Amino acid sequence: MARWGERGAGNVGCMVGVALLAVAVIVAMKVIPTRVAVAELQDYCEREAETASLPGNTDDKIADLILIKAEQNNLPVTKEAIKVWRDSSMMHVVVKYRVVLDLLVYKYNWDVEHKVDRTLF
């Protein structure tokens, strides 16, 4: 039995699929490097908080090092966005900033907060 209505020509579906794939690739190219940079800054904040007990590591020095790392990763962190303080047994680091992701026709404002609490030894 012959099927006369089926030719196998799915041009519209193919074009839609290719367009969606292209949009996904472009969005991924913008989002993934930013997510990696944010994760690197989180790890760096944790490492700096862990070494706070070492001699010479003052709160201001740790804040300056975090700011330098954020600038290296092209993140919009200001000196005022970094809070570093100690209490009797804990080291606290809080970094708050906003990353604007330009996703072709939409700008997404991503509010990021790194909060690290470590015990001082």
Res 94: pLDDT: 98
Mean pLDDT of 86-105: 93
Q: What is the spatial distance between Cα 93 and Cα 48, in angstroms, rounded to a whole number?
A: 9
Residue 23 lies in a domain: yes
Residue 2 lies in a domain: no
Residue 4 lies in a domain: no
Residue 6 lies in a domain: no
Res 3: pLDDT: 60
Res 7: pLDDT: 63
DSSP-derived secondary structure for the chain = ---SS-----HHHHHHHHHHHHHHHHHHHHHHHHHHHHHHHHHHHHHHHHTTTSTT--HHHHHHHHHHHHHHTT----GGGEEEEE-SSEEEEEEEEEEEEEETTEEEEEEEEEEEEEE--
Name the residue range of residue 81's domain.
Answer: 13-119
Residue 33 lies in a domain: yes
- Residue 20 pLDDT greater than 70, yes or no: yes
Res 61: pLDDT: 96
Residue 5 lies in a domain: no
pLDDT, tens only, 25-50: 988 999 999 999 999 999 999 999 99
Mean pLDDT of 53-82: 95
Mean pLDDT of 74-103: 95
- Residue 1 pLDDT greater than 70, yes or no: no
Question: How many structural domains compose the chain?
Answer: 1
pTM of the model: 0.83
Residue 21 lies in a domain: yes
- Residue 9 pLDDT greater than 90, yes or no: no
